Amino acid sequence: MNPWAALPVLQQAENLRRLGLFASVREAFWKQEPQIAEVLASITTPRVVIVPCFLSEGYFSDRVIPKALEFPDTEGVRTVERNGQLLVYCKPVGVHPRLTDVVLSRARAVIAQAPFPVCPRASDISLFIAGHGTERHANSRGSVETQVERIGALGLYASVQPLFLEEEPRIGRAYELAKTSNIVVVPFFLGDGLHAQEDIPVMLGEPPDKVRQRVRNGLLAWRNPTERHGKLLWYSASVGTDPALAEVIVELSEAALQPAS
């Protein structure tokens, strides 16, 4: 449905191939080709590590996909031996501690790229981390709330709060909840797909037709900063597009294989 949906995974896979650390790096998807089951069937290495490129322990990463691949219904890293091959299913990338650095990097970068009219200090900014959220899985919002807690404890920003597409507090409440006149919203999504490129900008008050037109023209869906309700709002790129994600995948893979070494 979305031409950008696979791009972050394809980019990270290419980054990993350039590192040359694995016998092979393969992309696989749940809702498009090449599909996960087909890719796994074609791999012959004695050990296979599957890293879910999701930013939370949600419905698909924690239930649907591992069940379809016949992994045990357990917590943490899951393993299964099949036809002499060890298959390892990792935790999703979004639970890795280094994602905090990525969120902070995104928040700093969007201000530096568009400091107009002046570059506000972090202490004068209300930072929001925007995730999906779903009532189908209790942990779906957990990764966002973890980032809010970690960054809030650093004391860098006037406030750090979560926002969600499908749960409270909803995206559109950013202006109401902001403690300052400067707002930065960082989308906690893998890529700049439908949610990050269209849904969130619209929920933040941008007209749908204008958003779609800007995306079609290859422009950013949100002009930084934009004034709404007497506040200036900056909207960053998604955390999953950061090049550091490849290193996170490597660390997840190495940690998952450690007990089997």
pTM, rounded to two decimals? 0.84
Pair (233, 114) in one structural domain: yes
Mean pLDDT of 76-102: 92
Say whether pLDDT at 261 is over 60. Answer: no
Q: Provide the CATH number for the domain around residue 165.
A: 3.40.50.1400
Determine the Cα–Cα distance for residues 33 and 258; give it in Å rounded to an integer: 31
Say whether pLDDT at 35 is over 90. Answer: yes
> Has residue 2 been placed in a domain?
no
Pair (60, 164) in one structural domain: no
Q: What is the 3-state secondary structure (H, E, C) of 232-244?
A: EEEECCCHHHCCC
The total of other beta-carbon atoms located within 10 Å of residue 184's CB is: 27
Q: Tell me what the pLDDT averaged over the chain comes to.
A: 91
Pair (47, 108) in one structural domain: no
> Has residue 234 been placed in a domain?
yes
> Has residue 229 been placed in a domain?
yes
Pair (233, 254) in one structural domain: no
Pair (171, 49) in one structural domain: no
- Coil vs helix vs strand at 173: helix
Angle (nearest 5°) at CA 139 between 136 and 143: 130
Residue 238's contacts (CB-CB under 8 Å, 6 or more residues apart) are 8, 106, 187, 188, 189, 190, 191, 192, 196
Domain of residue 184, residue span:
99-241
Pair (53, 153) in one structural domain: no
Pair (118, 81) in one structural domain: no
> Has residue 1 been placed in a domain?
no
Pair (149, 226) in one structural domain: yes
* pLDDT single digits (tens) 123-169: 999 999 999 887 766 666 888 999 999 999 999 999 999 999 999 99
